[in-house]
Amino acid sequence: MLVTTGDLGLCEEVVRPLKLRTAWKPDSRTIHSLDVGNFMTWKGPCLECGIFKRNGVGLFCSNFLRQRGPFPRCLAVWCGECYRAHPQDPFRVQTTLHSPGEEEENEDLVTEERLALRFKTARDGDHLQGIPFECDLCHFRNVNGRDPVPRNPKDNFTLLCIRRAVLDALWSRETSTVSGNFRRLQRDYHASKSTLSIAQPVPVIGTNKVKDRVGMSCALHTMMAMLQKGNYQETAQWDTARKTPTWFTNAYESGENFGEEAIYSTHDTKVYSTSSPTASRWFSRFMLGSKRRMGIMRKQNEALTVEQLMAVCELAEKDWRTSQSEEEKKDIENVMAFIIIGFCVSLRGEEVPLVAIEGLLTFWDETRSHNPPHTMITLKGRFKGENNLRWHCVPIADITKSGIPTRRWISRLLDRRVNREGKRAGYLFARKMGERLVLGITTPCLEII
Ligand SMILES: [Zn+2]
Ligand SMILES: [Zn+2]
Protein backbone atom coordinates (compact mmCIF):
# COMPACT_ATOMS: atom_id res chain seq x y z
CA MET A 1 0.00 0.00 0.00
CA LEU A 2 1.44 3.36 -0.99
CA VAL A 3 0.83 6.28 1.29
CA THR A 4 2.01 9.87 1.21
CA THR A 5 4.65 10.47 3.82
CA GLY A 6 3.97 14.19 4.11
CA ASP A 7 7.07 15.18 2.18
CA LEU A 8 6.23 16.83 -1.12
CA GLY A 9 5.76 14.28 -3.89
CA LEU A 10 7.01 11.34 -1.81
CA CYS A 11 5.15 8.12 -1.33
CA GLU A 12 6.43 5.24 0.74
CA GLU A 13 5.30 1.68 0.82
CA VAL A 14 3.95 1.04 4.26
CA VAL A 15 3.45 -2.39 5.70
CA ARG A 16 0.15 -2.38 7.44
CA PRO A 17 0.44 -4.16 10.76
CA LEU A 18 -1.87 -7.05 11.52
CA LYS A 19 -5.20 -6.04 12.93
CA LEU A 20 -5.46 -7.53 16.39
CA ARG A 21 -8.35 -5.62 17.90
CA THR A 22 -11.86 -5.21 16.65
CA ALA A 23 -13.41 -1.78 16.30
CA TRP A 24 -16.81 -3.43 16.71
CA LYS A 25 -18.77 -2.30 19.78
CA PRO A 26 -21.77 -4.60 20.09
CA ASP A 27 -24.66 -3.38 22.25
CA SER A 28 -25.64 -5.40 25.30
CA ARG A 29 -28.60 -6.98 23.48
CA THR A 30 -26.29 -8.40 20.84
CA ILE A 31 -23.89 -9.67 23.50
CA HIS A 32 -26.77 -11.38 25.33
CA SER A 33 -27.85 -13.10 22.15
CA LEU A 34 -24.49 -14.88 22.05
CA ASP A 35 -23.92 -17.92 24.27
CA VAL A 36 -20.43 -18.20 25.70
CA GLY A 37 -20.94 -21.98 26.01
CA ASN A 38 -22.08 -22.47 22.41
CA PHE A 39 -19.65 -21.33 19.74
CA MET A 40 -22.27 -21.96 17.05
CA THR A 41 -24.16 -18.87 18.23
CA TRP A 42 -21.15 -16.54 17.89
CA LYS A 43 -21.06 -13.75 15.36
CA GLY A 44 -19.05 -10.62 14.62
CA PRO A 45 -17.18 -8.77 11.87
CA CYS A 46 -13.92 -10.16 10.42
CA LEU A 47 -11.00 -8.19 11.84
CA GLU A 48 -9.44 -7.79 8.42
CA CYS A 49 -12.22 -7.36 5.86
CA GLY A 50 -15.15 -6.44 8.10
CA ILE A 51 -17.54 -9.03 6.61
CA PHE A 52 -19.97 -10.14 9.29
CA LYS A 53 -19.42 -13.76 10.31
CA ARG A 54 -22.50 -15.58 11.57
CA ASN A 55 -23.53 -18.91 13.07
CA GLY A 56 -20.03 -19.70 14.22
CA VAL A 57 -18.73 -19.92 10.64
CA GLY A 58 -15.24 -18.47 10.31
CA LEU A 59 -12.24 -18.53 12.60
CA PHE A 60 -13.23 -17.54 16.13
CA CYS A 61 -10.85 -17.01 19.03
CA SER A 62 -11.95 -19.58 21.59
CA ASN A 63 -11.99 -16.78 24.19
CA PHE A 64 -14.26 -14.70 21.92
CA LEU A 65 -16.75 -13.76 24.64
CA ARG A 66 -14.66 -14.20 27.75
CA GLN A 67 -13.46 -11.40 29.98
CA ARG A 68 -10.19 -12.88 31.11
CA GLY A 69 -8.40 -11.41 34.10
CA PRO A 70 -8.16 -7.63 33.70
CA PHE A 71 -8.73 -7.80 29.93
CA PRO A 72 -11.94 -7.05 28.03
CA ARG A 73 -13.50 -9.51 25.55
CA CYS A 74 -11.30 -9.89 22.47
CA LEU A 75 -14.26 -10.54 20.10
CA ALA A 76 -11.66 -11.71 17.58
CA VAL A 77 -12.96 -13.41 14.46
CA TRP A 78 -11.66 -13.72 10.93
CA CYS A 79 -12.71 -15.25 7.66
CA GLY A 80 -10.35 -18.26 7.51
CA GLU A 81 -8.46 -16.79 4.56
CA CYS A 82 -8.22 -13.35 6.21
CA TYR A 83 -6.07 -14.78 9.01
CA ARG A 84 -2.75 -14.44 7.18
CA ALA A 85 0.95 -14.49 7.92
CA HIS A 86 2.45 -11.09 8.64
CA PRO A 87 3.56 -9.35 5.41
CA GLN A 88 7.12 -9.26 6.77
CA ASP A 89 7.10 -12.87 7.96
CA PRO A 90 10.74 -13.99 7.54
CA PHE A 91 10.16 -17.71 8.11
CA ARG A 92 10.95 -20.20 5.41
CA VAL A 93 8.13 -21.95 3.58
CA GLN A 94 9.11 -24.91 1.47
CA THR A 95 7.80 -24.39 -2.02
CA THR A 96 7.98 -27.89 -3.46
CA LEU A 97 5.16 -30.38 -3.30
CA HIS A 98 7.08 -32.86 -1.19
CA SER A 99 5.61 -33.12 2.27
CA PRO A 100 7.93 -34.57 4.89
CA GLY A 101 5.15 -35.15 7.46
CA GLU A 102 5.02 -38.66 8.86
CA GLU A 103 1.39 -38.56 9.60
CA GLU A 104 -0.86 -40.63 7.42
CA GLU A 105 -3.34 -38.34 5.87
CA ASN A 106 -4.93 -38.47 2.50
CA GLU A 107 -3.52 -35.43 0.92
CA ASP A 108 -5.25 -34.56 -2.28
CA LEU A 109 -3.34 -33.24 -5.19
CA VAL A 110 -2.11 -29.83 -4.28
CA THR A 111 -2.75 -27.33 -7.01
CA GLU A 112 -0.47 -24.40 -7.71
CA GLU A 113 -3.01 -22.03 -6.25
CA ARG A 114 -3.44 -23.95 -3.05
CA LEU A 115 0.30 -24.33 -2.77
CA ALA A 116 0.60 -20.55 -2.69
CA LEU A 117 -1.75 -20.43 0.30
CA ARG A 118 -0.30 -23.34 2.23
CA PHE A 119 1.00 -22.22 5.64
CA LYS A 120 0.08 -18.62 4.80
CA THR A 121 -3.61 -18.35 5.62
CA ALA A 122 -5.96 -20.21 7.94
CA ARG A 123 -9.20 -21.98 7.05
CA ASP A 124 -12.77 -21.66 8.36
CA GLY A 125 -13.21 -24.09 11.24
CA ASP A 126 -9.51 -24.21 12.11
CA HIS A 127 -10.51 -23.28 15.66
CA LEU A 128 -12.20 -26.67 16.14
CA GLN A 129 -9.38 -29.03 15.18
CA GLY A 130 -8.52 -30.55 18.55
CA ILE A 131 -6.22 -27.80 19.81
CA PRO A 132 -7.22 -24.43 21.30
CA PHE A 133 -7.20 -21.54 18.86
CA GLU A 134 -6.60 -18.26 20.61
CA CYS A 135 -6.15 -14.95 18.83
CA ASP A 136 -2.76 -13.21 18.73
CA LEU A 137 -3.80 -10.74 21.40
CA CYS A 138 -4.95 -13.54 23.75
CA HIS A 139 -1.64 -15.36 23.23
CA PHE A 140 0.32 -12.19 23.89
CA ARG A 141 -1.66 -11.67 27.10
CA ASN A 142 -1.07 -15.31 28.11
CA VAL A 143 2.67 -15.01 27.64
CA ASN A 144 3.18 -11.49 29.04
CA GLY A 145 0.22 -10.78 31.29
CA ARG A 146 -0.22 -7.40 29.62
CA ASP A 147 -1.30 -5.84 26.34
CA PRO A 148 1.28 -5.13 23.61
CA VAL A 149 2.59 -1.57 23.46
CA PRO A 150 1.89 -0.04 20.02
CA ARG A 151 5.05 0.62 18.00
CA ASN A 152 7.23 -1.29 20.47
CA PRO A 153 9.51 -3.28 18.12
CA LYS A 154 9.92 -6.23 20.52
CA ASP A 155 6.20 -6.51 21.12
CA ASN A 156 5.50 -6.25 17.40
CA PHE A 157 8.04 -8.92 16.49
CA THR A 158 6.64 -11.16 19.21
CA LEU A 159 3.19 -10.74 17.65
CA LEU A 160 4.58 -11.59 14.21
CA CYS A 161 6.10 -14.80 15.62
CA ILE A 162 2.88 -15.66 17.47
CA ARG A 163 0.99 -15.41 14.17
CA ARG A 164 3.50 -17.73 12.50
CA ALA A 165 3.43 -20.24 15.36
CA VAL A 166 -0.38 -20.34 15.33
CA LEU A 167 -0.45 -20.85 11.55
CA ASP A 168 2.12 -23.66 11.87
CA ALA A 169 0.03 -25.42 14.50
CA LEU A 170 -3.09 -25.10 12.32
CA TRP A 171 -1.24 -26.40 9.26
CA SER A 172 -0.47 -29.69 10.96
CA ARG A 173 -3.85 -30.55 9.47
CA GLU A 174 -4.54 -30.46 5.76
CA THR A 175 -7.31 -28.25 4.38
CA SER A 176 -9.48 -31.21 3.34
CA THR A 177 -9.38 -32.54 6.93
CA VAL A 178 -10.31 -29.18 8.42
CA SER A 179 -13.16 -28.45 6.05
CA GLY A 180 -14.48 -32.03 6.24
CA ASN A 181 -14.57 -31.86 10.03
CA PHE A 182 -16.26 -28.45 10.07
CA ARG A 183 -18.89 -29.32 7.43
CA ARG A 184 -19.85 -32.44 9.32
CA LEU A 185 -20.12 -30.48 12.58
CA GLN A 186 -22.41 -27.90 10.96
CA ARG A 187 -24.64 -30.55 9.41
CA ASP A 188 -25.02 -32.58 12.60
CA TYR A 189 -25.51 -29.48 14.73
CA HIS A 190 -28.34 -28.09 12.61
CA ALA A 191 -30.00 -31.49 12.17
CA SER A 192 -29.95 -32.17 15.91
CA LYS A 193 -31.08 -28.68 16.82
CA SER A 194 -34.38 -29.11 15.00
CA THR A 195 -35.15 -32.57 16.38
CA LEU A 196 -33.39 -33.11 19.71
CA SER A 197 -33.26 -31.47 23.14
CA ILE A 198 -29.63 -31.14 24.24
CA ALA A 199 -28.95 -28.40 26.78
CA GLN A 200 -25.27 -28.23 25.91
CA PRO A 201 -25.18 -29.19 22.22
CA VAL A 202 -21.47 -28.48 21.67
CA PRO A 203 -18.48 -28.63 24.00
CA VAL A 204 -17.50 -25.36 25.64
CA ILE A 205 -14.32 -23.81 24.25
CA GLY A 206 -12.03 -21.10 25.63
CA THR A 207 -10.64 -20.47 29.08
CA ASN A 208 -10.77 -17.69 31.66
CA LYS A 209 -7.18 -18.32 32.71
CA VAL A 210 -4.58 -15.86 31.45
CA LYS A 211 -1.86 -18.50 31.20
CA ASP A 212 0.33 -20.02 28.52
CA ARG A 213 -1.28 -23.46 28.49
CA VAL A 214 -0.03 -24.52 25.07
CA GLY A 215 3.72 -23.76 25.21
CA MET A 216 3.72 -20.55 23.19
CA SER A 217 6.74 -19.12 25.00
CA CYS A 218 8.80 -22.18 24.08
CA ALA A 219 7.40 -22.01 20.54
CA LEU A 220 8.70 -18.43 20.34
CA HIS A 221 12.21 -19.55 21.38
CA THR A 222 12.00 -22.30 18.77
CA MET A 223 11.03 -19.82 16.07
CA MET A 224 14.15 -17.79 16.86
CA ALA A 225 16.24 -20.94 16.41
CA MET A 226 14.58 -21.41 13.01
CA LEU A 227 15.90 -18.04 11.91
CA GLN A 228 19.51 -18.80 12.70
CA LYS A 229 21.91 -19.44 9.89
CA GLY A 230 22.03 -23.01 8.62
CA ASN A 231 24.70 -25.17 7.01
CA TYR A 232 22.89 -26.06 3.82
CA GLN A 233 20.29 -23.35 3.60
CA GLU A 234 20.00 -19.71 4.51
CA THR A 235 18.22 -20.52 7.72
CA ALA A 236 18.59 -23.41 10.12
CA GLN A 237 16.99 -26.75 9.45
CA TRP A 238 13.97 -27.91 11.40
CA ASP A 239 16.10 -30.70 12.86
CA THR A 240 18.33 -28.08 14.47
CA ALA A 241 15.45 -25.97 15.72
CA ARG A 242 13.76 -28.91 17.43
CA LYS A 243 16.54 -29.00 20.01
CA THR A 244 15.09 -25.88 21.59
CA PRO A 245 12.05 -27.63 23.12
CA THR A 246 14.47 -30.19 24.58
CA TRP A 247 16.31 -27.72 26.78
CA PHE A 248 13.03 -26.04 27.62
CA THR A 249 11.49 -29.31 28.82
CA ASN A 250 14.67 -30.24 30.68
CA ALA A 251 14.73 -26.90 32.46
CA TYR A 252 11.02 -27.16 33.19
CA GLU A 253 11.45 -30.59 34.75
CA SER A 254 14.43 -29.31 36.74
CA GLY A 255 12.26 -26.66 38.24
CA GLU A 256 9.34 -26.17 40.56
CA ASN A 257 6.99 -28.12 38.34
CA PHE A 258 9.00 -31.34 38.39
CA GLY A 259 6.55 -34.18 37.78
CA GLU A 260 6.64 -36.71 40.62
CA GLU A 261 4.41 -39.29 39.06
CA ALA A 262 5.61 -42.16 36.95
CA ILE A 263 3.58 -44.76 35.12
CA TYR A 264 5.28 -48.08 34.93
CA SER A 265 4.99 -50.05 31.74
CA THR A 266 6.47 -53.30 30.47
CA HIS A 267 9.75 -53.64 28.55
CA ASP A 268 11.79 -51.97 31.23
CA THR A 269 10.51 -48.54 30.39
CA LYS A 270 8.94 -45.97 32.63
CA VAL A 271 6.62 -43.32 31.34
CA TYR A 272 6.73 -40.09 33.27
CA SER A 273 3.93 -37.61 33.55
CA THR A 274 4.80 -33.99 32.98
CA SER A 275 2.89 -30.75 33.11
CA SER A 276 5.34 -29.10 30.71
CA PRO A 277 3.42 -27.22 28.02
CA THR A 278 5.90 -28.63 25.48
CA ALA A 279 4.13 -31.95 26.01
CA SER A 280 0.78 -30.41 25.04
CA ARG A 281 -1.04 -31.48 21.92
CA TRP A 282 -0.87 -27.92 20.65
CA PHE A 283 2.90 -27.97 20.89
CA SER A 284 3.23 -31.27 19.02
CA ARG A 285 0.99 -29.87 16.29
CA PHE A 286 3.12 -26.73 16.16
CA MET A 287 6.27 -28.82 15.72
CA LEU A 288 4.65 -31.00 13.05
CA GLY A 289 3.27 -27.96 11.19
CA SER A 290 6.60 -26.14 11.28
CA LYS A 291 8.35 -29.27 10.02
CA ARG A 292 5.96 -29.45 7.10
CA ARG A 293 6.37 -25.77 6.40
CA MET A 294 10.15 -25.81 6.40
CA GLY A 295 10.61 -29.19 4.79
CA ILE A 296 13.74 -31.17 5.45
CA MET A 297 16.69 -30.90 3.17
CA ARG A 298 18.96 -33.87 3.20
CA LYS A 299 22.41 -33.67 1.78
CA GLN A 300 23.14 -37.18 0.72
CA ASN A 301 26.50 -38.43 -0.34
CA GLU A 302 26.47 -39.81 -3.83
CA ALA A 303 27.06 -43.55 -3.81
CA LEU A 304 30.51 -44.52 -4.92
CA THR A 305 30.73 -47.02 -7.80
CA VAL A 306 33.30 -49.82 -7.97
CA GLU A 307 34.88 -48.18 -11.01
CA GLN A 308 35.26 -44.88 -9.16
CA LEU A 309 36.74 -46.65 -6.14
CA MET A 310 39.24 -48.51 -8.34
CA ALA A 311 40.28 -45.22 -9.94
CA VAL A 312 40.71 -43.67 -6.48
CA CYS A 313 42.82 -46.68 -5.41
CA GLU A 314 45.06 -46.22 -8.41
CA LEU A 315 45.59 -42.50 -7.79
CA ALA A 316 46.18 -43.02 -4.09
CA GLU A 317 48.69 -45.79 -4.77
CA LYS A 318 50.70 -43.47 -7.01
CA ASP A 319 50.56 -40.62 -4.50
CA TRP A 320 51.53 -42.89 -1.62
CA ARG A 321 54.53 -44.32 -3.45
CA THR A 322 55.84 -40.94 -4.56
CA SER A 323 55.16 -39.11 -1.33
CA GLN A 324 58.21 -38.13 0.69
CA SER A 325 56.32 -37.06 3.79
CA GLU A 326 55.23 -39.56 6.41
CA GLU A 327 52.39 -37.24 7.48
CA GLU A 328 51.03 -37.23 3.95
CA LYS A 329 51.36 -40.98 3.66
CA LYS A 330 49.43 -41.37 6.88
CA ASP A 331 46.68 -39.10 5.57
CA ILE A 332 46.39 -41.16 2.39
CA GLU A 333 46.31 -44.41 4.39
CA ASN A 334 43.62 -43.04 6.67
CA VAL A 335 41.40 -41.94 3.83
CA MET A 336 41.86 -45.09 1.77
CA ALA A 337 41.28 -47.49 4.66
CA PHE A 338 38.22 -45.46 5.62
CA ILE A 339 36.71 -45.55 2.14
CA ILE A 340 37.52 -49.22 1.53
CA ILE A 341 36.11 -50.43 4.84
CA GLY A 342 33.03 -48.23 4.45
CA PHE A 343 32.50 -49.49 0.91
CA CYS A 344 33.18 -53.21 1.40
CA VAL A 345 31.33 -53.62 4.71
CA SER A 346 28.55 -51.21 3.72
CA LEU A 347 28.99 -49.24 6.88
CA ARG A 348 27.53 -45.85 7.47
CA GLY A 349 30.03 -43.03 7.73
CA GLU A 350 29.67 -42.77 11.49
CA GLU A 351 30.24 -46.51 12.01
CA VAL A 352 33.60 -46.78 10.22
CA PRO A 353 35.50 -45.02 13.04
CA LEU A 354 34.45 -47.87 15.36
CA VAL A 355 37.06 -50.21 13.81
CA ALA A 356 39.35 -51.18 16.68
CA ILE A 357 43.02 -52.17 16.59
CA GLU A 358 42.98 -54.99 19.14
CA GLY A 359 40.27 -56.80 17.20
CA LEU A 360 42.12 -56.49 13.91
CA LEU A 361 45.30 -57.84 15.53
CA THR A 362 43.52 -60.80 17.08
CA PHE A 363 42.44 -62.13 13.72
CA TRP A 364 45.27 -60.76 11.58
CA ASP A 365 47.47 -63.85 11.07
CA GLU A 366 44.76 -66.42 11.30
CA THR A 367 42.70 -64.82 8.55
CA ARG A 368 45.64 -64.33 6.22
CA SER A 369 46.41 -68.05 6.03
CA HIS A 370 42.77 -68.88 5.60
CA ASN A 371 41.41 -69.76 2.20
CA PRO A 372 40.27 -67.41 0.78
CA PRO A 373 42.46 -64.94 2.64
CA HIS A 374 40.44 -62.23 4.28
CA THR A 375 40.55 -59.51 6.88
CA MET A 376 38.26 -59.47 9.87
CA ILE A 377 36.95 -55.96 10.38
CA THR A 378 36.24 -55.60 14.06
CA LEU A 379 34.00 -52.83 15.28
CA LYS A 380 33.73 -51.94 18.90
CA GLY A 381 31.12 -49.58 20.13
CA ARG A 382 27.71 -48.85 21.41
CA PHE A 383 25.31 -49.55 18.61
CA LYS A 384 21.92 -48.01 18.22
CA GLY A 385 19.34 -49.57 20.51
CA GLU A 386 21.99 -51.36 22.64
CA ASN A 387 23.17 -50.38 26.07
CA ASN A 388 26.58 -52.04 26.21
CA LEU A 389 29.81 -51.78 24.33
CA ARG A 390 29.91 -54.67 21.92
CA TRP A 391 32.08 -56.21 19.27
CA HIS A 392 30.85 -56.64 15.73
CA CYS A 393 33.01 -58.64 13.33
CA VAL A 394 32.65 -58.57 9.56
CA PRO A 395 35.05 -60.39 7.22
CA ILE A 396 36.15 -58.88 3.89
CA ALA A 397 38.22 -60.62 1.22
CA ASP A 398 41.83 -59.48 0.91
CA ILE A 399 41.28 -58.67 -2.69
CA THR A 400 37.68 -58.40 -3.72
CA LYS A 401 36.30 -59.85 -6.95
CA SER A 402 36.52 -56.45 -8.56
CA GLY A 403 40.15 -56.13 -7.46
CA ILE A 404 39.90 -53.66 -4.56
CA PRO A 405 43.13 -54.11 -2.56
CA THR A 406 41.52 -54.14 0.89
CA ARG A 407 44.25 -55.74 2.96
CA ARG A 408 46.98 -53.62 1.39
CA TRP A 409 45.53 -50.35 2.67
CA ILE A 410 44.30 -51.65 5.99
CA SER A 411 47.68 -53.24 6.60
CA ARG A 412 49.56 -50.05 5.75
CA LEU A 413 47.56 -48.11 8.29
CA LEU A 414 47.61 -50.89 10.86
CA ASP A 415 51.39 -51.23 10.49
CA ARG A 416 51.82 -47.52 11.12
CA ARG A 417 49.53 -47.52 14.13
CA VAL A 418 50.97 -50.69 15.71
CA ASN A 419 54.65 -50.77 14.76
CA ARG A 420 55.48 -47.10 14.51
CA GLU A 421 53.06 -45.54 16.94
CA GLY A 422 53.16 -48.45 19.34
CA LYS A 423 49.41 -48.91 19.65
CA ARG A 424 48.04 -52.28 20.66
CA ALA A 425 44.51 -51.12 21.40
CA GLY A 426 42.19 -48.27 20.63
CA TYR A 427 40.56 -47.16 17.44
CA LEU A 428 42.23 -47.62 14.07
CA PHE A 429 41.23 -44.21 12.84
CA ALA A 430 42.37 -41.94 15.58
CA ARG A 431 43.49 -38.43 16.00
CA LYS A 432 45.80 -37.79 18.89
CA MET A 433 45.46 -39.33 22.37
CA GLY A 434 43.45 -42.30 21.09
CA GLU A 435 40.42 -40.13 20.53
CA ARG A 436 38.03 -41.68 18.09
CA LEU A 437 37.68 -39.99 14.74
CA VAL A 438 34.36 -38.33 14.25
CA LEU A 439 32.70 -37.97 10.91
CA GLY A 440 32.97 -34.20 10.64
CA ILE A 441 36.75 -34.40 10.83
CA THR A 442 37.06 -37.04 8.15
CA THR A 443 34.75 -35.64 5.55
CA PRO A 444 36.75 -32.61 4.45
CA CYS A 445 39.65 -34.98 3.87
CA LEU A 446 37.44 -37.29 1.84
CA GLU A 447 36.11 -34.49 -0.26
CA ILE A 448 39.58 -33.70 -1.55
CA ILE A 449 39.44 -36.96 -3.41
ZN1 LIG B 1 -12.41 -11.42 6.24
ZN1 LIG C 1 -8.82 -13.79 21.70
Residue 84 Cα to ligand 1 middle (Å): 10
Q: Give the number of the ligand closest to the Cα of residue 124.
A: 1
Mean pLDDT of 263-290: 85
Q: Within this chain, do residues 23 and 162 fall inside the same structural domain, yes or no?
A: yes
Q: Within this chain, do residues 83 and 126 fall inside the same structural domain, yes or no?
A: yes
Q: Within this chain, do residues 380 and 235 fall inside the same structural domain, yes or no?
A: no
Contacts of 117 by beta carbon, 8 Å cutoff, 6+ apart: 81
Query: What pLDDT is stored for residue 112 in this prediction?
Result: 52
Q: Within this chain, do residues 109 and 49 fall inside the same structural domain, yes or no?
A: yes
**Domain final residue pick, 265, 294, 323:** 294
Could you tell me if 313 and 336 are in contact, meaning their C-beta atoms sit under 8 angstroms apart?
Answer: yes
Q: Could you tell me the pTM of the whole model?
A: 0.65
- Identify whether 368 is part of a domain: yes
Residue 306 Cα to ligand 2 middle (Å): 63
Instruction: Give percent above pLDDT 70 in the chain.
Output: 81
- Identify whether 438 is part of a domain: yes
Question: Does the pLDDT of residue 186 top 70, yes or no?
Answer: yes
Residue 68 Cα to ligand 2 middle (Å): 10
- Identify whether 8 is part of a domain: no
- Identify whether 2 is part of a domain: no
Question: Does the pLDDT of residue 434 top 60, yes or no?
Answer: no
d(CA 2, CA 185): 42
> What rounded mean pLDDT belongs to the chain?
84
Q: Within this chain, do residues 314 and 381 fall inside the same structural domain, yes or no?
A: yes
**Domain final residue pick, 272, 294, 316:** 294
pLDDT band at 99 (very low <50, low <70, confident <90, very high): very low
Using CB atoms within 10 A of its CB, is residue 334 exposed (0-12), middle (13-18) or buried (19+)? Answer: buried
Query: What pLDDT is stored for residue 148 in this prediction?
Result: 95
Query: What pLDDT is stored for residue 107 in this prediction?
Result: 44
Q: Within this chain, do residues 310 and 249 fall inside the same structural domain, yes or no?
A: no
pLDDT band at 280 (very low <50, low <70, confident <90, very high): very high
Q: Within this chain, do residues 310 and 290 fall inside the same structural domain, yes or no?
A: no
For the stretch 146-162, pLDDT in tens is 999 998 999 999 999 99
- Identify whether 65 is part of a domain: yes
pLDDT band at 51 (very low <50, low <70, confident <90, very high): very high
Q: Give the number of the ligand closest to the Cα of residue 122.
A: 1
Residue 75 Cα to ligand 2 middle (Å): 7
Q: Within this chain, do residues 21 and 158 fall inside the same structural domain, yes or no?
A: yes
For the chain, the domain total comes to 2
Q: Give the number of the ligand closest to the Cα of residue 65.
A: 2
Q: Give the number of the ligand closest to the Cα of residue 136.
A: 2
Domain enclosing residue 393, as ranges: 306-448
Q: Give the number of the ligand closest to the Cα of residue 42.
A: 2
For the stretch 354-386, pLDDT in tens is 888 988 888 888 887 777 788 888 888 766 556
Contacts of 335 by beta carbon, 8 Å cutoff, 6+ apart: 316, 442, 445, 446, 449
d(CA 99, CA 322): 51
pLDDT band at 268 (very low <50, low <70, confident <90, very high): low
Q: Within this chain, do residues 245 and 342 fall inside the same structural domain, yes or no?
A: no
Instruction: Give percent above pLDDT 90 in the chain.
Output: 49
Q: Give the number of the ligand closest to the Cα of residue 138.
A: 2
- Identify whether 5 is part of a domain: no
Q: Within this chain, do residues 80 and 219 fall inside the same structural domain, yes or no?
A: yes
Q: Give the number of the ligand closest to the Cα of residue 83.
A: 1
Query: What pLDDT is stored for residue 424 in this prediction?
Result: 86
Provide the residues around ligand 2 (an ion) whose CB is within 5 A. Answer: 61, 63, 74, 76, 135, 138
Q: Within this chain, do residues 224 and 361 fall inside the same structural domain, yes or no?
A: no
Question: Does the pLDDT of residue 333 top 50, yes or no?
Answer: yes
Residue 44 Cα to ligand 1 middle (Å): 11
Question: Does the pLDDT of residue 209 top 90, yes or no?
Answer: yes
- Identify whether 10 is part of a domain: no
Residue 301 Cα to ligand 2 middle (Å): 48
Residue 204 Cα to ligand 1 middle (Å): 24
Q: Within this chain, do residues 215 and 97 fall inside the same structural domain, yes or no?
A: yes
**Domain final residue pick, 259, 294, 329:** 294
Q: Give the number of the ligand closest to the Cα of residue 82.
A: 1
- Identify whether 68 is part of a domain: yes
Query: What pLDDT is stored for residue 391 in this prediction?
Result: 80
Residue 123 Cα to ligand 1 middle (Å): 11
